Amino acid sequence: MKKYLYLFSLLFSFLLISCEEEIVLDFDETIPRLVIEGNIFMGEPAFNKITLSTTTDFYSSIKPSVNNAQVSITDLSNNTVYEFVNNNNGDFLNTTFLPEIGGTYELTVIYNNETYKATSTVIDSPEVLNVDQKNDGGFTGDSYEITFNFQDNPNEENYYLVQIISPADEGFGVINDQFSNGNIMGDLYFYEKEDIKPGDDLTHYIAAINKQYYNYLAKLFSISGETGNPFASPVGTIKGNIINQTDEANFALGYFHIAKRNQYNYIVK
Q: pLDDT, tens digit, for every residue of 14-56?
A: 334 434 444 444 445 567 899 999 999 999 988 999 999 998 7
Does residue 72 belong to any structural domain of this protein? Answer: yes
First-to-last alpha carbon distance for the chain, in angstroms, is 23
- Mean pLDDT of the residues in the chain: 86
- Cα 11 → chain centroid: 16
Same domain, 110 and 149: no
- Statement to judge: residues 130 and 113 lie in one domain: no
Does the residue 224 lie in any domain? Answer: no
Question: For strand 104-111 and strand 91-93, is the pairing parallel, antiparallel, or unpaired?
Answer: unpaired
CA atoms within 13 A on the CB side of 92: 26
Domain count, the chain: 2
pLDDT surpasses 60 at 117: yes
Please report whether residue 54 resides in a domain: yes
**What order do you get walking across the sheet with 261-267 strand by strand?**
170-176, 159-165, 201-209, 261-267
Does the pLDDT value for residue 236 go beyond 70?
Answer: no
- pLDDT-derived band at 11 (thresholds 50, 70, 90) equals very low
Q: What stretches of the chain show up as alpha helix (H) in DSSP?
A: 8-16, 211-224
Distance (Å, whole) CA 261 – CA 61: 31
Owning domain of residue 52: 34-123+232-262
Report the relative pairing of strands 143-151 and 114-121 from DSSP bridges: unpaired
| Domain shared by 59 and 45, yes or no | yes
- What residues pair up with 50 in beta bridges, in sequence order? 92
Look up the CATH number of the domain holding residue 166.
2.60.40
144-154 residue pLDDT tens: 999 999 999 99
